[in-house]
Structure 1
């Protein structure tokens, strides 16, 4: 069954964490002021910087505040959620308490009568073979069950180690082989083509790559449109320009909505 809405906002890669308060506050403002203006909100993964189990947030004031914001929003609009590469362990307990509906990745939606395929996007980065192997194993239910059985502080320690290692490897590759690194961490045309064939679509929306843009692309006999969502970061102006946007789809078409307060 295809999810349908007359209007929608799509966001991804917010990477919510207590250490990024400005970004978090913009998300809370988004839930209170921007999101209620449409019929549906689609969160295409990486809502959180990392997630190591629903039980680990029970006593976290920050995560409780996020939960309340989402629960309040879900009384006004429909909220749909896709797992990202940082928060794929977000489970049924948190989904139930926030009123979000989990979707498969990829999935097809219809907004104002036009169909789109939505995905987080990490599964489309097939040039990064090592990551795809990692992704395959970490999506196995028995692996996840084993990890979630570990003490919470062990899980946090493992997650922080993996994040630090990933960041260091990316920074090293970006310094030594920037062009190759960007190709490796971006989506590939064959992967997009295969996903769109499977979903019988020709319009794709995804996040993950942090490279917001609208593309008109072709591979072999296939052609499609692709919209990439922005990541959000209002807390590190020393490394990059502040970023926060959403993709708005309604009767007027598809367009990016700048969420930075100027």
Structure 2
């Protein structure tokens, strides 16, 4: 028995092969798991459930085996798709999960996060995140036409590429160690799973004689990747 974790697929029509790889992953692996957790940035961009989206339609179709097998899938918002709502989640067969969330993973309390809130040194991004998560900002954004929203998303993607491509910003876009330890301490866990940074690794943190583990998920830009936790 297994539970699967993925993140940062950044599904987009310009990379149709990744959508096909996800479909294969669902058919051959996820459909047999106890549960699938998608920890954010499922799509390259999401401008609202009301916007016609071919990538979204293909994702819903790829998830059909999960729905037919009644396998649970949990979805946590990322920084690219935080406007994905209940309407689309229900259509795809996903349950929305707050960020952060603590789950009982085969007897071990485990903290799940997208990971962007841990990058506290990126002050510019954190300010935008706080603004864009407010109900007022989201209502105003979703009241705009689909064309206006798409134009905003395109501009935001270009600015994000420039921001992440600047070597001067490389350090601030990784997690802050203090923020990690604080999050784990607040959640009272010794295991954290997150994505966002695109820096897959297993990190160990020593605290009061205990070993805390931080498991970082990989992105799907080059090939599919998943974390598989086996039931003891």
TM-score (ref. length: structure 2): 0.94
* 2:58 paired residue among 55, 65, 89: 65
Offset at 1:229? 0.2
Instruction: Give the one of 4, 13, 21 matched to 1:18.
Output: 13
Cα distance between partner residues in 1 of 2:76 and 2:93: 14
Q: Could you say which residue in structure 1 is the equivalent of 2:148? A: 154
Cα deviation digits, residues 48-106 of structure 1 (max 9, x gap) = 0000000113xx34321211222431332100010000000001100111121111111
Query: Match for 2:180 among 192, 215, 218?
Result: 192
The answer to which of 91-100 and 11-20 deviates more is 91-100
Partner in structure 2 of residue 244 of structure 1? 224
Which residues of 2 match residues 167-186 of structure 1 at below 5 A? 167-171=161-165, 173-174=166-167, 177=168, 181-186=169-174
Greater Cα offset, 207-216 or 62-71: 62-71
Runs of 5+ unmatched residues, structure 1? 1-5, 234-241, 253-262
In structure 1, what is the equivalent of residue 202 of structure 2? Answer: 214
| 1:166 maps onto 2:167 in alignment | no
Give matches, 1:61-140, under 5 Å: 61-76=54-69, 77-140=71-134
Kept in 2: contact 1:189–1:219 (CA 8 A): no
For residue 225 of structure 1, the aligned residue among 209, 213, 221 is: 213
Given the superposition, is the C-alpha separation of residues 221 and 158 from structure 1 closer, same or farther in structure 2, using an over 3 Å criterion?
A: farther
Offset at residue 182 of structure 1 (A): 2.5
Distance in structure 2 (CA, Å) of the matches to 1:62 and 1:189: 35
Output the aligned Cα RMSD.
1.7
Deviation beyond 3 Å, 4+ runs, structure 1:
218-223
User: Shift of the alpha carbon at 1:195?
Assistant: 1.1
Residue 189 of structure 1, CA deviation: 1.2
Residue 123 to residue 63, structure 1, CA distance change in 2 (3 Å): same
| Alpha-carbon shift at residue 112 of structure 1 (Å) | 2.1
The residue number in structure 2 matching 1:38 is 33
Distance in 1 separating the partners of 2:209 and 2:141:
43
In structure 2, distance between residues paired with 1:208 and 1:149: 28
CA separation in 1, counterparts of 2:29 and 2:183?
A: 31
For residue 217 of structure 1, report the CA deviation from its aligned partner.
Answer: 1.6
Q: What secondary structure sits across from 1:243 in the alignment?
A: coil
Give how far 1:244 is off.
Answer: 2.2
> How far apart are the structure 1 equivalents of 2:123 and 2:223?
29
Q: Do the aligned residues in 2 keep the contact of 1:9 with 1:35 (CA within 8 Å)?
A: yes
What is the deviation of 1:30?
A: 0.9
Distance in 2 of aligned mates of 1:222 and 1:186: 24
Deviation at 1:224, TM superposition (A): 1.4
